[in-house]
Amino acid sequence: MTGLSVAGLHKSYPGTPVLRGIDLDVKSGTLTAILGASGSGKTTLLRVITGFEEASHGSVTVDGTVVDDSRHRVRPEHRRIGLVPQDGALFPHLTVRANVAFPLPRRDRRGSRPDEMLELVGLSGLAARYPHQLSGGQQQRVALARALASQPSLILLDEPFSSLDAGLRASVRSDVLAVLRATGTTAVLVTHDQDEALSAADHVAILRDGRIIQADAPRQLYQCPADPQTAAFVGTANLLEGTWDGTRVTTTLGRHGIYAGLQTPQPGQVTVLIRPEQICLAQPGTDAVPARVTATHYHGHDALVAVRPDPPGSQAGNGDGKELRVRVSSDAPEPGEFVGLTVRGSVAAWASPAGS
Amino acid sequence: MLFVRHRGRLGTLFERIGYLSQGLPGLVLALALVFFAIHAAYPLYQTPELLVVTYAIMFFPLALVSLRASLAQAPPRLEETARSLGCRPTAALRRVTLPLVAPGIAASAALVFLAAVVELTATLVLIPTGANTLATAFWGYQQNASYASASRYAIVIVAIAAIPGCLLQRWFDRGQEQS
């Protein structure tokens, strides 16, 4: 069962196409993240789905009902889409309880539904407060309770955590996700934060220049991105030149297998993705590739070490000396130290653009 | 409301013209309207209606400025949120936008009312013969040095000015607690 289906969606403003053929399917009861940089068309896509903008071409289907195609449109208030806007957008003149009761028919507003929703998001004690008396995280949870109150077919979360500070963000996010899973709601999370998208969603769709570049499970997306640009967008990426002979790929760092299921390029020059955590630091002098540490960025839970591989002079063609980033969990080496590099696991590779 | 939300060239022009009338001395505006009434709309000359029109032109910018401020309290985003929650456009206006802008509308109405009550120069020129506003009555007695008679009107003016002031003050205090 498909909770949300977007097919061939185009949207242009006079003179500027914003969405250029979006195809996206969200299974009922799952959470899909739409990940895109600012200006990629995220907001426009969201506004077309909610009905505040009209699609130029294509169709939007929510829970089996076509809500927008070239022939007819369902008004926003009849789409049964719950929206959780960026900063909550609670109604400032209403109490928390009245905010949650807002979407309900008049006879149900005094009933138990608003209290149940507040309990669901863990804010029963704040029913009589006004929005300005709540913290940012509490406001987001009230906005979620309000969106869920009328049992919508679909919840849209528009960068709901971006205004929260880092410490709060993780806890509010996990609370919100727990509520969505508990209620089995189909949800779409729009975000520009790749950590958030990868950790929260069942599926992640990459939106770039008005197109969905790739829609996959987070692990698949991280390991086998559709192209080098996507690779760099969803995490730190070491992109190396290599040679693919049909079975193994050879780079400065050795010979590697490539992921099964990946569309294998023609033998020849390829661009290879190696994630920082795939590179291990070893003692120099073994069969590891010698390298020199140029910088260390300490993050607490881990450290990102910049190294410049220095292959023996014999392999002059490969030794482009390009800086690589290596993630180490403890005992980061100091800049200037010599280390050895080995690669574990398979890599992703794409045919190099012609002429390079 | 349309001017603030949908800023077009025409709207901006109209608004600027509105502000212009605030810059004109009341006397100039009044004489212009006398001229207009005599030549183009004679039935209006010396009527209370013309006086009301004058007040409308004079105090339009005042109303606009305070309305603009209160509309900022109700961003379109809140209306959209209300619609996504199942409200028709009219219901969204009634349940979200109006409650948020009502204090501002009341405040601007009170401001304009106060300004109109005490307006003197244009009123003196345009008032129908024999009629009086509080301000012209006060002015008339004061001119004749009948300060005792004039003071009655002065007191009424002060009282009228105070009442909406007090009401608004209470309203805003309540609003402050909420928003």
Query: pLDDT tens digits, residue range B97-134?
Result: 888 888 778 878 887 888 777 777 777 777 777 777 77
Q: From chain B, pick out residues whose CB is under 8 angstroms from the CB of A157.
A: none
- Whether B82 and chain A come into contact, CB under 8 Å, resolves to yes
Which is it for strands A186-191 and A154-158: parallel, antiparallel or unpaired? parallel
Confidence of residue A217 (pLDDT cuts 50, 70, 90): very high
Residue A213 has pLDDT above 80, yes or no: yes
pLDDT (0 to 100) of residue A129: 93
- Whether A160 and chain B come into contact, CB under 8 Å, resolves to no
- Whether A73 and chain B come into contact, CB under 8 Å, resolves to no
Tell me which residues of chain B have a pLDDT lower than 50.
1-3, 178-179
Q: Is A296 left (phi over 0), alpha (psi -120 to 50) or beta?
A: beta
In which residue are the tokens 């900022």 written? B72
H-helix segments, B7-133: 9-23, 26-40, 48-71, 76-84, 89-92, 98-118, 121-126
Give the integer Cα–Cα distance in Å for A105 and A82.
15
Q: From chain B, pick out residues whose CB is under 8 angstroms from the CB of A142.
A: none
Compare all CA atoms of chain B with the CA of A152 and give the residue at the minimum distance.
B85
List beta partners, residue A235: none
Supply the DSSP symbol for A22: E
- Whether A106 and chain B come into contact, CB under 8 Å, resolves to no
Q: From chain B, pick out residues whose CB is under 8 angstroms from the CB of A92.
A: 73, 100, 178-179
Which is it for strands A279-282 and A268-274: parallel, antiparallel or unpaired? unpaired
| pLDDT tens-place string over residues A68-107 | 987 888 999 999 999 998 888 999 999 999 999 999 998 8
Residue B113, helix vs strand vs coil: helix
pLDDT (0 to 100) of residue A206: 95
Compare all CA atoms of chain A with the CA of B76 and give the residue at the minimum distance.
A89
- Whether A262 and chain B come into contact, CB under 8 Å, resolves to no
pTM summary value: 0.78
How long, in residues, is chain A? 356
| pLDDT tens-place string over residues A261-296 | 666 777 888 889 999 999 988 877 767 888 888 889
pLDDT (0 to 100) of residue B133: 77
- Asked if residues A327 and A304 have their Cβ atoms less than 8 Å apart, the reply is yes
Residue A66 has pLDDT above 80, yes or no: yes
pLDDT (0 to 100) of residue A127: 92
Compare all CA atoms of chain A with the CA of B75 and give the residue at the minimum distance.
A89
Residue B178, helix vs strand vs coil: helix
| Pick from A81, A89, A93: CB nearest B100 | A93
Residue of B80, B85, B88, B94 to mutate, interface with A, max A Cβ within 10 Å: B85
Taking the CA of residue A63 and the nearest CA in chain B, the distance in Å comes to 16
Compare all CA atoms of chain A with the CA of B174 and give the residue at the minimum distance.
A93
| ipTM score of complex | 0.77
Of A20 and B17, more confident? A20
Taking the CA of residue B73 and the nearest CA in chain A, the distance in Å comes to 9
| Pick from A75, A102, A132: CB nearest B179 | A132
Find the mean pLDDT for residues A130-137: 92
Confidence of residue A316 (pLDDT cuts 50, 70, 90): very low
Cross-chain Cβ contact A147/B85 below 8 Å: yes
A to B CB pairs, distance under 8 Å: 57
- Asked if residues A142 and A99 have their Cβ atoms less than 8 Å apart, the reply is yes
Q: From chain A, pick out residues whose CB is under 8 angstroms from the CB of B90.
A: none
Of A313, A318, A312, A300, nearest in space to A340 by CA: A312
Find the mean pLDDT for residues A8-14: 90
pLDDT (0 to 100) of residue B60: 79
pLDDT (0 to 100) of residue B15: 67
Of B174 and A182, more confident? A182
Residue of A75, A87, A93 to mutate, interface with B, max B Cβ within 10 Å: A93
* CB neighbour list of residue B165: distance below 8 Å, 6 or more residues apart: B110, B114
Calculate the average pLDDT of chain A: 87
Give the integer Cα–Cα distance in Å for A33 and A31.
7
Find the mean pLDDT for residues A39-57: 90
pLDDT (0 to 100) of residue A134: 93
pLDDT (0 to 100) of residue B135: 78
| pLDDT tens-place string over residues A226-255 | 889 999 999 999 998 888 888 888 888 888
Cross-chain Cβ contact B81/A83 below 8 Å: yes
Find the mean pLDDT for residues A169-190: 90
